[in-house]
Amino acid sequence: MKLPKLLPTLALFFCLSIQLLLAQDLFILNEDSKCTFDSQRVDQLIKNDSLYEATILLDQALKFTKKYGFTKYEAKSYNHLGMVFSEMGNNKTAEFYYGKALNIYDSINDLRGRDYVLHNLTCLYLNKRNYTKFDSIYSIAQQSSRSLNSELFFLNLEDKIKNFYYTNENDSLLLLAKFGLNKLENTDFSKLNYSKDFVQDHLKRRLQYVYQYHEAIALIKLNQFEKGNALLFAIDPDDFKAKIESDKNSHRQLATFNFYKYRYFNEIAKQPDSAVKYLLKSDTYKYLALRDFEERSAKNGELIYKIIQTEDQLNSANKLREKDNKISQSFAASTIISSILLLTVIIFCFYYYKTRKNIENINLDLQDSNEKLRKQDIERLEFFSILSHELRTPIYGINGLATLIEQEQDEEKRQSYLSSLISSSNYMSILIDNVLQATRLKFETKKLRKKPSRIDHIVQSVVSTVKIAAENKGLELRYDIQASDDNEYILVDKVAFSQILINLAYNAIRYTKKGFVSINISEQKRTNAHVELLFEVKDSGIGIKEEHRQTVFNAFENKMFLQKNSSGSGLGLYIVKTLLKSHNTDIDFISKPNKGSNFFFSVNFELCEKPDRTIKVEENLNYPIENHVLIVDDNKINLLITKKNVERIPGFTCETASNGKEALTLVKKKDYDMVLMDINMPEMDGFEVTRHIRLFNPNIPILALTALNSAEIGKKANMSGMNHIITKPYNFEDFRSIVKGHLRPRIQTGTH
């Protein structure tokens, strides 16, 4: 068919297509004979839940725009298709269409269209609760809206406020809500460039209500009840309901709005009648929200089925048209061959381009990976440099103080040097334990060993551990524990919880040059079986800037912004946060630069009875008057320390062995009541010695005494036949309790 004969046919088809679309109100023919896309028509269909009709119209609009090269309207069609599928809850399809629209707007440099799609994406990711993608697109969307002076800036801000509300980031929620209200107050809405038609006063008033509503909730959640409730009751309920009725989550918001009023009258005002009234209102809106969700889900299921069915029909119709076109058109053999050859060349070029692009992407990924590894190496080197410095400092202090104690004749000064020596030793012990703990927690889940204890005993032990470090810096060390019944005990892992408080206290001391450090414990709530306690560690130190909030709890990273102000390893807060996960809680802080910080967390403890400290002995059974212990260790200093600690326990004597073979010989010859076994020894380690002893003496208690501490060591100890592991360094009281607790009762014969 020749071209002159085709032109009238094409013109007729074009006119028919225009007339068809004009009849469907998706395209409007202007006075200058130009077509424009009618966005209001689609918006109205979506608002009326006529999603099926909107999908059909947009499908026809896409075919028309693609055929005649109306790129801008093609992008609009994709954007509205994204809105339709988002309304259905089909988020994956909606994201796909928004992506196509965004690509087209970028290619034609249409900034307003791009701004509208970015806003729709923030709404989509917020509704999906995909906060990672939301955060990445939000900053881009706000930058776009700010540059265009668009009203979408405030709508995006509303989405960010809801994001903080959903994730319970109440401090951030409060700050952003206040910022939004201030921004609204100082913005002339008549001068904004609107993306679509809005009633300006209605929009501004709605946003004021939403921002104020979230500010009130944030204040209440942060225990600022007076301010929060005042803001909440300042909102006109009828006007608020009218302004947010277009929001599909309006019933949920109204339910929450009335629920917090119920809490005020029930918990603060103590007015039961008013409390019941608002509780009923809240429950009513909750029911309406649930009903809306169920109706929307059912309707969306039917719509998706209809759309799929319609797409199948359209595909079938397209196939029939293609078949008719093939029959009606006859091409010369040379044209077909040329077309095939041309297509082959295009495919080859396409795949060549795609392969080259993939290689370039792989190279870029490798470069990024290498850069990340390089940065990690730098961070590790910096960490080990810091760790080396941190170890050398107390070692130097220990060596120097030991020399001063030897040379000093004044007993008071000798005692002062001894206190500083103990402080340096404690610090080095905690530092090494933190390094091992950080490595272990990265690969293992901390299992708590809960025993009855009093929280005031734990806190007093912590205070005595860090007291010297505070005194050396001239700081006032305070602690305040809410009074409780002397017979009230809780189940707690004393070692793990002490480590949490010690790290927080040392962290506060490290970053405080003058003033105070305080540890406060108060009761939050209680039941018959549980009590929830709030722990706060406050200081008057250098404080933390808000932009560093995300990094202070990260191992290695948190040194980068505090290195000029501290000398720590950067592991304490990371370990605190990780250990608190085992307690099913988390830590947060409030801080002002140069004013100080307040780290706080709450833990729900199980209440228990006071442990019975008396030892019940059956008739004719008793512990021997003298308990004889064998200590096995290849290190002479460790052997001496352990021997002195055993002899401090009333009724205990001991012998020593410097290797495994000597220990085996002694256990076979003598009747010991217990063996304290080192693990790392030459020739025969502690595990092997224990296995040999168990062959001829299966009952004697064997306790491992080692600086190693991991799940793997515990497993090996258990398999070899050891009864318990005591980790060095240890507290003498804990050591004595463990040793006496593993002693076997036996018949008293009067001789050993």
Q: Highest mean pLDDT range out of 281-295, 427-441, 671-685, 731-745?
A: 671-685
pLDDT of residue 550: 77
272 and 243 in a common domain: no
Count the Cβ atoms, other than its own, within 10 Å of residue 293.
15
pLDDT of residue 713: 83
DSSP for residue 729: S
348 and 296 in a common domain: no
Who wins on pLDDT, 199 or 661? 661
Residue 564 in contact with residue 543, Cβ under 8 Å? Answer: no
Indicate whether 29 pLDDT > 50: no
In a domain, residue 335? The reply is no
Give the pLDDT confidence of 556-587 residue by residue, as tens digits: 555 544 444 444 556 778 888 888 988 899 99
d(C-alpha 138, C-alpha 207), whole Å: 18
Bridge-based pairing of strands 702-706 and 627-632 is unpaired
Please state the rounded mean pLDDT for residues 116-129.
90
Examine the fold and report which residue of 247, 263, 294 is the final residue of a domain before the chain moves on. 247
Residue 743 in contact with residue 701, Cβ under 8 Å? Answer: yes
633 and 509 in a common domain: no
User: What is the C-alpha radius of gyration for the chain, rounded to an integer number of angstroms?
Assistant: 37
Poorest-pLDDT segment among 126-135, 257-266, 415-424, 700-709: 415-424
pLDDT of residue 61: 77
d(C-alpha 418, C-alpha 423), whole Å: 9
CA 252, 256, 262: angle at the middle one, nearest 5?
Answer: 145
pLDDT of residue 272: 86
DSSP for residue 454: -
Distance of alpha carbon 491 from the chain centroid: 27
Indicate whether 21 pLDDT > 50: no
Q: Which domain holds residue 208?
A: 148-247
d(C-alpha 155, C-alpha 145), whole Å: 10
Encode 251-318 in three state secondary structure: HHHHHHHHHHHHHHHHHHCCCHHHHHHHHHHHHHHHHHHHHHHHHHHHHHHHHHHHHHHHHHHHHHHH
In a domain, residue 529? The reply is yes
> Which tokens is 696 given?
């001829």
pLDDT of residue 406: 74
| Domain count across the chain | 5
Examine the fold and report which residue of 219, 247, 275 is the final residue of a domain before the chain moves on. 247
Give the pLDDT confidence of 425-455 residue by residue, as tens digits: 766 666 666 665 555 555 456 678 788 989 9
d(C-alpha 162, C-alpha 141), whole Å: 16
Who wins on pLDDT, 709 or 149? 149
Amino acid identity of 207? L
Count the Cβ atoms, other than its own, within 10 Å of residue 199.
9
pLDDT of residue 613: 55
In a domain, residue 431? The reply is yes
pLDDT of residue 601: 96
Distance of alpha carbon 169 from the chain centroid: 11
Give the pLDDT confidence of 452-504 residue by residue, as tens digits: 989 998 998 889 888 888 988 899 999 999 888 878 899 998 878 988 999 89
594 and 563 in a common domain: yes
262 and 221 in a common domain: no
pLDDT of residue 714: 83
Give the pLDDT confidence of 78-113 residue by residue, as tens digits: 888 888 888 777 888 888 998 988 999 999 898 988
In a domain, residue 32? The reply is no
For helices 152-166 and 200-221, give the axis angle rounded to 10 degrees. 20
292 and 202 in a common domain: no
d(C-alpha 152, C-alpha 144), whole Å: 9
In a domain, residue 296? The reply is yes
Contacts 24+ apart (CB under 8 A), 453-456: 453/489, 453/490, 453/492, 453/494, 454/488, 454/489, 454/490, 455/481, 455/484, 455/490, 455/492, 455/521, 455/533, 455/605, 456/481, 456/484
* Confidence band, pLDDT 50/70/90 cuts, at residue 198: low
* Confidence band, pLDDT 50/70/90 cuts, at residue 383: low
Give the pLDDT confidence of 146-184 residue by residue, as tens digits: 999 998 999 999 899 999 998 999 999 999 999 999 988
* Confidence band, pLDDT 50/70/90 cuts, at residue 60: confident
Count the Cβ atoms, other than its own, within 10 Å of residue 359.
10
Indicate whether 23 pLDDT > 60: no
Give the pLDDT confidence of 594-648 residue by residue, as tens digits: 899 999 999 999 999 887 654 443 433 444 568 999 999 998 888 888 999 999 9
pLDDT of residue 22: 42
In a domain, residue 404? The reply is no
Region for residue 425 given its phi and psi (left: phi exceeds 0; alpha: psi -120 to 50; beta: otherwise): alpha
pLDDT of residue 36: 62
Residue 194 three-state SS: coil
575 and 445 in a common domain: yes
In a domain, residue 666? The reply is yes
631 and 722 in a common domain: yes
Amino acid identity of 507? N
pLDDT of residue 614: 47
632 and 568 in a common domain: no
Examine the fold and report which residue of 291, 312, 333 is the final residue of a domain before the chain moves on. 312
In a domain, residue 751? The reply is no
pLDDT of residue 390: 54
What does each C-alpha distance from 599 to 108, 267, 517, 518 come to in angstroms?
A: 51, 27, 11, 11
User: Is the backbone peptide bond immediately before 729 cis, with ω within 30 degrees of 0?
Assistant: yes
pLDDT of residue 401: 66
* Confidence band, pLDDT 50/70/90 cuts, at residue 303: low
DSSP element (H, E) containing 537: strand 530-539
349 and 467 in a common domain: no
Please state the rounded mean pLDDT for residues 269-282.
85
For 214, half-sphere exposure in the C-beta direction (CA atoms, 13 angstrom radius) is 30
Who wins on pLDDT, 215 or 388? 215
Indicate whether 136 pLDDT > 70: yes
pLDDT of residue 654: 95
> Which tokens is 418 given?
């001894």
pLDDT of residue 2: 46
pLDDT of residue 314: 54
633 and 601 in a common domain: no
Share of the chain above pLDDT 90, in %: 26
Residue 710, domain CATH: 3.40.50.2300
Q: For all residues of the chain together, what is the average pLDDT?
A: 80
574 and 445 in a common domain: yes
In this prediction the pTM is 0.41
Indicate whether 67 pLDDT > 90: no
Give the pLDDT confidence of 225-259 residue by residue, as tens digits: 888 888 888 898 888 888 787 777 788 888 888 88
Distance of alpha carbon 2 from the chain centroid: 68
